[in-house]
Structure 1
Amino acid sequence: MHKFFVPKDKIINNKAYIEGDDVKHIYKVLRLQPGEKVSINNCKGREYLGEIYEVNKMQVTVDIVEELDVSNESPLDIYLYQGLPKSAKMDFIVQKATELGALEVTPVITERVVVKNELGEFKKVDRWNRIALEACKQSKRSIIPTINTPIEFNELLEELKKVDLIVVPYENEEGYGIKQMIKTINSEVKSAAIVIGPEGGFEEEEISRLKELKAHVITLGPRILRTETAGLTCISLLMYELGDLGGKMSK
């Protein structure tokens, strides 16, 4: 069943009104017809079973049949803070982080980030959010993650105070990894921040300041991972250990 995200204000009196790019996709690519069932999400996590009522080139009207008790979201809220990479790597990171279940992705301008046109990076946020939306449709997420505008390192330190767990993969760390970290956690973790350095890595001073916030500075193994690989690997490991990527425990 095809899934569409429809803003809450476009769901009125048990009808959903699909507009924008999805309309062309429905009638020209998917060739959906009146009477066919679709899944509707109100962009706030609520899911509905819908039946297409009318299709035209400007708008698709869907009758809401029933609200569904469905959520494909993890019990662990993951916030990815990504040292801003070069070229189109951020597009890839946003797409895959969305598929893996990250709740927010925030680019961070650290000491070794090279930003030739800082204003240009801010203009990319709209594209990143569109990429996240398309990844949501593909992976059948219930919530569209937020892709934030880039922030400075000092702003990052303030943001990290809102989460239960801070994880920082670092190429110079040895011996202390995810397995050991999990054993040290004594309280329930509902939110986790993953902080990833840019291509040039972190400065020692940045690592020291993260440690002051009780961040877990870990190794991801003996091989050096690229910046676009490290964050996704860390999300996967945390989702397996603390989220829903490993499936449900058998009784």
Structure 2
Amino acid sequence: MHHFFVTPEQVIEDRVYIVGSDVNHMKNVLRMKTGERTEVSDGNNCRYLCEITGYEDDKAVLSILEKKEADTELASRLYLFQGLPKSDKMDLIVQKAVELGAYEVIPVATKRSVVKLDDKKAAKKVERWNSIAESAAKQAGRGIIPKVKQVMSYPEALKYAEMLDVTLIPYELAQGMQETKAQIEAIKSGQSIGIFIGPEGGFEAAEVSAAVESGAAAITLGRRILRTETAGLAMLSVLMFVLET
């Protein structure tokens, strides 16, 4: 069954009004007809089973058959702070992070980031990544569309992470798997968790020290060196497994 997102303002009494590019997608790509059923999420953790009533001008009108709270969201909010990688790796990272339950993805310009984006290029990239996040949220049946934030500098990212309950920074020179397991097992459902992942080449030692001074815990992901596009997804997978109820 197809799945669409709207804002709460597009849900009026027993009707849902879909607007924008989704209307063309419904009519001309999916060729959805009157009477066909679909699922709609309002981005506020409510999901609706709907039936298409018809198309009016630039909107699709759906009648609500059933409303329920979405049960696909973790009680904890996971924030992935991803060091900017090369090529199109960020596309994959955003897609899979959304599938694995990330609440936000924050691209971070670190000292070893090869990619350097000016404001115009960064804005276009972020727009693309948010489009990927929306598609992934639909595919995964998410109750919300996770946001990809504007690119932050490393100090900005550390400042942003101060609002979180727990911040973890996997680091290839960190030691002690038992200590890492204890850190993860101590996380409680409902806590907000930040994960800092370095770009190709990893973090500089000074960046790790700055994160630890800001309250982050340096952890190990084992004896193997993971690629930047693997490390964050590995952490999200572990946390999803631990925190899923």
* TM-score after normalising by structure 1: 0.89
User: Closer, same or farther in 2 for the Cα pair 1:186/1:37, shift >3 Å?
Assistant: closer
* SS at structure 2 position matched to 1:33: coil
Query: Could you tell me which residue of structure 2 aligns to residue 156 of structure 1?
Result: 157
User: Closer, same or farther in 2 for the Cα pair 1:182/1:125, shift >3 Å?
Assistant: closer
Partner letter of residue 163 of structure 1?
Answer: L
Contact 1:4 1:39 in 2 (8 A): yes
Contact 2:45 2:69 in 1 (8 A): no
Query: Could you tell me which residue of structure 2 aligns to residue 182 of structure 1?
Result: 184
> What is the rounded CA distance, in whole Å, between the counterparts of 2:187 and 2:60 in structure 1?
50
> What is the rounded CA distance, in whole Å, between the counterparts of 2:189 and 2:24 in structure 1?
45
> What is the rounded CA distance, in whole Å, between the counterparts of 2:13 and 2:66 in structure 1?
12
Contact 1:23 1:57 in 2 (8 A): no
Alpha-carbon displacement from aligned partner over 1:85-131 (angstroms, at most 9, x marks no partner): 11211111111100001000001111111234322123211111111
How many residues end up aligned between the 2 structures? 243
Q: In the TM superposition, what is the alpha-carbon distance from 1:180 to its structure 2 partner?
A: 3.3
Query: Could you tell me which residue of structure 2 aligns to residue 134 of structure 1?
Result: 135
* SS at structure 1 position matched to 2:33: coil
* SS at structure 1 position matched to 2:87: coil
* TM-score after normalising by structure 2: 0.91
> What is the rounded CA distance, in whole Å, between the counterparts of 1:47 and 1:149 in structure 2?
28
Alpha-carbon displacement from aligned partner over 1:54-76 (angstroms, at most 9, x marks no partner): 14784321012232133210111
Q: In the TM superposition, what is the alpha-carbon distance from 1:189 to its structure 2 partner?
A: 5.5
Deviates more, 1:29-38 or 1:186-195: 186-195
Partner letter of residue 190 of structure 1?
Answer: Q
Q: In the TM superposition, what is the alpha-carbon distance from 1:7 to its structure 2 partner?
A: 2.2
Partner letter of residue 182 of structure 2?
Answer: Q
Contact 2:83 2:199 in 1 (8 A): yes
Matches within 5 A, 1:162-241: 162-176=163-177, 178-183=180-185, 185=186, 190-241=191-242
Indicate yes or no: 2:36 matched with 1:41. no
Identity of aligned residues (%): 44
Q: In the TM superposition, what is the alpha-carbon distance from 1:235 to its structure 2 partner?
A: 0.6
Contact 2:174 2:219 in 1 (8 A): yes
Query: Could you tell me which residue of structure 1 aligns to residue 32 of structure 2?
Result: 32
> What is the rounded CA distance, in whole Å, between the counterparts of 1:187 and 1:101 in structure 2?
16
User: Closer, same or farther in 2 for the Cα pair 1:223/1:75, shift >3 Å?
Assistant: same
Q: Which segments of 5 or more consecutive residues in structure 1 lack a partner in the other structure?
A: none
Q: Which segments of 5 or more consecutive residues in structure 2 lack a partner in the other structure?
A: none
Contact 1:18 1:61 in 2 (8 A): yes
Query: Could you tell me which residue of structure 2 aligns to residue 12 of structure 1?
Result: 12
Partner letter of residue 29 of structure 1?
Answer: V
